[in-house]
Chains A and B, each alone.
Chain A
Amino acid sequence: MKRFVSLLLVTLLVLSLTACNTASKQDTAATTPNNQTATENGGTEQKSGLPVLSPDNPVTISVWTMTNYSAPSADNKLSKLLKERLGVTINYEIIPPENADQKIGVLLAGGEYADLMGTTDLNIRLIKGGALIPLDDYLTEDKANLLYEHVKPYWNRLATDAGDGERHIYVLPNYNRYYGEIVGGTHYGASGFWIQKHVLEELGYPSLENMTLERYFQMIEEYMKKYPTIDGMPTIGFELLCAPGREWVLTNPPQYLAGHPNNGGVVVDENNVATIFADKEIAKRYYKFLNQMNAKGLIDKESFTQTNDQYLAKLATGRVLGMYDQRWAFGQAYDSLVAEGKYERTWVPTMPVYEGCTPYYADREVMNINQGYGISVSCKNPDIVVSFLNTMMSEEWQKLFNWGIEGEDYYVDENGRFYRTPEQREQQNDLVWRNKNKLEALYDNMPKIQGTYSDGNADSPGNQPEEFFDSLSDYDKNFLTSYGKKTWREFLNQPPENPIYYPCWNITLPEDAQVVSQQLTDLALQYLPKIIMADPSEFETLWAQYVSEINKVDVKVYEDAINAGIQERIKNWGN
Chain B
Amino acid sequence: MSNDLPDPPQNRNVPAASDTVVGTVEQPGDSADEFQFIAPNDIDVRTGEFIVYNTTVEGEHHNVLARVTNTEQERGLPGDFLANPGVDSDAVADALGVPTGDVELNSVTARIIGYFNDDMGTFTNPRSLPDPGSRVYLANNAFLEAVLPNADWESDAGLAHVGWLLNRPARDANVFLPIDEFASTHLAILASTGSGKSYTASVIMEEMMRPSSRAAMLVFDPHGEYDTLEDMRKSKYEDVFSDGDYTPEVNIVQPDEITIAIPDLNYGDLLALLDGPSDKMKYILQKAWRKLQQETNDISAHDLVRTCYEEDGEQSDTAEALEWRIQRALGRDLFVRAAREDLTDLVAPGQVTVLKLNQLSKDDQQMLAAALLRKLYEAREEAMRGDDDRLDFPLFTLLEEGHRFAPDGNARSLGILRTILSEGRKFGFGVGIISQRPSKLDADVLSQCGTQVIMQIQNPNDQQAIQQSVESAGQDVLDELPGLTPGQAVISGDAMNTPVLTRIRHRHTEHGADSLNATSEWRTSWETHNEEQNRSVVNAYDEEEDDVDDTAL
The answer to whether A and B come from one shared complex is: no
